[in-house]
Amino acid sequence: MIPPPPQARLARLDGLRGLAALAVVLFHYTAQFPNFVPGGLVPFTFDAGAYGVHLFFMISGFVILMSIAQRGTGHFARSRFIRLYPVFWAAVLLTSLVLTINPLLGPGPTPLQLLANLTMFEQYAHIEPIDGAYWSLSYELGFYIMMFALFASPLHRWIGWLPTWMTLGAAAFPIIGWAIPHPLHLMIGISSYSHLFAAGLALYLGRTEGFSARHVAVLVLVPLVQGLHDGLTGALIVAVAVLAMIWGTAPGRQLPRAAAWLTGLGAISYALYLIHQMIGYVVLAQLEAAGLGAWAALLLTVAVALALASVLTWAIEKPAAHWLGRVLPRLGERTAPRGDLADG
């Protein structure tokens, strides 16, 4: 049987998740804010924060395989719904309300746009997301659908080859992507970001089944593939992210005491990601209009985003997860035997 990852390892992944969320927040509030609010002031520009999403995708590759391999497809579908949707619905409604009341960023969402966004599949229907941060959810959903389909079929016995497939798919995507209709390419593991999920998959397979040469090769190739997409800077940042994932998934000690706050940030990271961008732009613009300097406005807006994320997490996400966990039928749980993850 596949042993569950040590809690210390999961705590470090939570810390990395918190770090990724903070990086994305700072990217949006510095590098992107002037693009949405012309004349908006920023005290610095943190372009590298965009790669927080890349780290999120790596973490997802590890955690999603862990979940579905150990507990089965029924539990996986149920747990993903419980984890993703209640707080997402709250974030969509709150963001829509703010954008409707304050049209600083343009007209509020239409009824069709709102309804489509509540499904989380709006980009699959080519409907604009209400918040720009939602773009990554379409990639997450495509990955979930692919993993569910694989483990619901005999193909799961070839899961050891999936990281290689996804890494090569990302390398080839600029050439072959035009021939694969959207969103099909997301559900077969071929996209500009599929190599990042592959890194998480390779690490989980390596930690639980033993590293094979091709899994090590995937971890080496992932930064190089990123370099094909956005050059040396991207390759170097993703290489650091891969090293962070190797540390974050290794057996060992808990987070260092000085970095323990990242675990708390990781606990609210999903809500923070969902709520921070468009509402943050409105808050940031209003604070600057009220005469606050760029630094004060930035710090106060980050504080507002953290407070909103905390409320959404502890008042909606956690209680909803507890309640839905009790009322939704359990669709079957199991622990996959070691042979289920044979390299094929």
Q: Is 202 helix (H, G, I), strand (E, B) or coil?
A: helix
Q: How confident is the model at residue 216 (pLDDT cuts 50, 70, 90)?
A: very high
What's the gap between Cα 213 and its chain centre? 27
**Angle (deg, nearest 10), helices 194-209 and 213-249:** 90
Tell me the Ramachandran region of residue 252: left when phi exceeds 0, alpha when psi lies from -120 to 50, beta otherwise: left
* 179/337: higher pLDDT: 179
Cis peptide before 183 (omega within 30 of 0): yes
290-329 pLDDT tens trace: 999 999 999 999 999 999 999 999 999 999 999 998 888 7
The pLDDT value given to residue 106:
84
Q: What angle do CA 271, 273, 275 make, to 5 degrees?
A: 65
The pLDDT value given to residue 128:
95
Question: Mean pLDDT, to the nearest integer, of 205-217?
Answer: 94
* Interatomic CA distance for residues 130 and 128, integer angstroms: 6
Q: How confident is the model at residue 6 (pLDDT cuts 50, 70, 90)?
A: low
Residue 344 has pLDDT above 70, yes or no: no
pTM for this model (two decimals): 0.93
The pLDDT value given to residue 28:
98
